[in-house]
Amino acid sequence: MKKTLSLFLAITSITFSSIAQPNQNDASLNWFKKTTEVIHFQLNKAAQTYKPGKNPRSVNPDGTVRLAGLTDWTTGFFPGSLWYGYELTGDKILAEEAKKFTLALDSIRNIKNTHDVGFMLYCSYGNAYRISGDKIYLPALADGAANLYARFNPKIGTIRSWDFEWLHYPVIIDNMMNLEYLYWSANQFNKPEYTNAASTHALTTIKNHFRKDYSSYHLVDYDQKTGKVLRKGTHQGVTDDSAWARGQAWGLYGYTMCYANTKNEKFLNQAEHIASYIMNHPRMPKDKVPVWDFDVHNALDTADLARRDASAAAVIASALLDLSTQVKDGKKYVDYAEEILKSLSSDAYLAKPGENHFFLLKHSVGAFLYNSEIDTPLDYADYYYLEALKRYAAIKKIEFSQKS
C-alpha cells in the first residue's frame, strides 16, 4: 500500500501538460497504454534531471550514470528519444526539452573522423527538422552530411567507418544505419552523389559482409589502395565468425531502409533474408529478446536476462515494422515485432516509473568482451524502442486522444 502511494506521488509530483493517450477500448492494447504512461513519466523526469550536452547513455556498474558528451557516438539518441516521446504523447514540454537537447549538439557538425555522425546528427537534428520543420536545424545537418560523404572512397565502394590506426580501412555493419542520413540529405540538399555513395556502400557490403546464411561479419578491413578485403572479423562479437546480435539488427534495419529509399529489389531481398535468419534462429529466446551474440551457446546464458540485449531487440522490432509496410504480406513481420514490443513492455524489461535512472529499458549489452556496458540500460535501446512503438501505432492505426 505504502509502495503504491509513493509511486502515485512520484508520478503526480511533476506537472505535465495534457498528454495524448490511445483511446481504443480494446483491452489487447492495455500494454501499449501503460507503456505510453511510463514513457511520458520517464522522459519528463530525464529531461529535468540531465543537462543538454551531457546526455544519459547507460548505467555504470557502480550505479552512476554514464553521460555521453559531444564526441560520443550515442549522443544523438537522447534528444531523438525526447522527439519520439513528444510524438507518442503529444506533450509539448517534451518538444521544448528536445529542442534544447538537440541544439546543444551543434559542434558535431564539424566531426570528420567517424561514420557515427549519422547516428549523432540524424537521430537528433534529423528528427527535430522532420517534426518541427524549423530551418534552424538545417545548417548542422548539411555540414554533417558533407563530412559523412567525404568518408566515401569510390575505389573501395564504401564509407570508412573508423579512423583507428591499428586497422587499414575498417567498415562495420553498423555503418549501414548511417546511409539513411545520406539518402535524406541527397534530396534535402540536392546532392545526388550522396545517393550514389549510399547505394554503392550497401551493395559492397552485401558482397563482403555476409555469409551464405545471411548472418554478417561485424567488421571488414579493406586495403585502401586496391579495395581488396584484408580481413573479415569482429569487434564486439564473441568470435570473428559469430553473429553479434546487434550487428544482425543493424543489417536488417539498414537494408530495409535502403529499399525504402531506392526500391532496389536487391536490398529488399537482403532485408527479407536477414529477417528470416533472425526470426528462425534456433537460439532466439521465447520472448524474442536475443542474447548479445547468437553464437553464445550456453543455455544458462540464454535464460539469464543479464545476457540479453534489449537494444538489438528494439532495432529488430523497428526494422520489421518498417519492412512490413514494404512487402505484400507483412503480417508475419508485424506479429513478430509485436511479440518483441510486448516483451520489452513487460516488467522484465520496462522500468517502473522513477526507477532505472529514468531510462526506459533494462537489460542491454554494449560490448560484452570488453566488459563494457553489460546488463544496463542504453540510450539507443530506448531510442529504437520508441521508434518501434511509433511505427506500431501507425500500422495498427491507434488513435490518440488528449488527456489532461
Q: Which residues are catalytic?
A: 116, 174
Written as nine digits, the cell of 133 is 520543420
CB of 236 to ligand GLY, least distance (A): 6
CB of 161 to ligand GLY, least distance (A): 9
User: How many chain residues interact with ligand GLY (CB under 6 A)?
Assistant: 4
Helix (H, G, I), strand (E, B) or coil at 176: helix
Calpha distance 251→295 (Å, rounded): 17
Nearer to ligand GLY, 246 or 357 (CB): 246
Closest C-alpha to 398, from 29, 6, 3, 10: 29
Calpha distance 275→272 (Å, rounded): 5
Q: If 0-12 CB within 10 Å is exposed, 13-18 middle and 19+ buried, where does residue 40 land?
A: buried
Query: What is the per-residue binding string for ligand GLY in 292-331, x denoting contact by CB under 6 A?
Result: ----------------------------------------
180 binds ligand GLY (CB under 6 A): no
Calpha distance 317→68 (Å, rounded): 25
CB of 174 to ligand GLY, least distance (A): 4
Query: What is the per-residue binding string for ligand GLY in 341-370, x denoting contact by CB under 6 A?
Result: -------------------------x----
**Phi (first) and psi of residue 245, to 5 degrees:** -60, -45
Please enumerate in sequence order all residues whose Cβ is within 8 A of that of 374, keeping only pairs 6 or more positions apart, or say none: 306, 365, 366, 368
CB of 368 to ligand GLY, least distance (A): 11
Nearer to ligand GLY, 248 or 261 (CB): 248
Query: What is the per-residue binding string for ligand GLY in 40-69, x denoting contact by CB under 6 A?
Result: ------------------------------
Nearer to ligand GLY, 95 or 238 (CB): 238
Whether the CB-CB separation of 136 and 142 falls below 8 Å is answered with no
Beta strands in 163-275 (DSSP E): 170-172, 219-222, 229-233
CB of 234 to ligand GLY, least distance (A): 12
Nearer to ligand GLY, 157 or 366 (CB): 366
Nearer to ligand GLY, 74 or 153 (CB): 74
DSSP 332-364: HHHHHHHHHHHHHTSTTTBPPTT-GGG-SB--E
Nearer to ligand GLY, 73 or 149 (CB): 73
Please enumerate in sequence order all residues whose Cβ is within 8 A of that of 294, keeping only pairs 6 or more positions apart, or say none: 215, 242, 243, 244, 245, 248, 281, 283, 284
221 binds ligand GLY (CB under 6 A): no
66, 151, 218, 246: residue in contact with ligand GLY (rule CB under 6 A): 246
72, 174, 221, 338: residue in contact with ligand GLY (rule CB under 6 A): 174
379 binds ligand GLY (CB under 6 A): no
Q: Which helix (H) or strand (E) holds 2?
A: helix 2-12
CB of 27 to ligand GLY, least distance (A): 37
CB of 339 to ligand GLY, least distance (A): 23
| Positions that interact with ligand GLY (CB under 6 A) | 174, 236, 246, 366
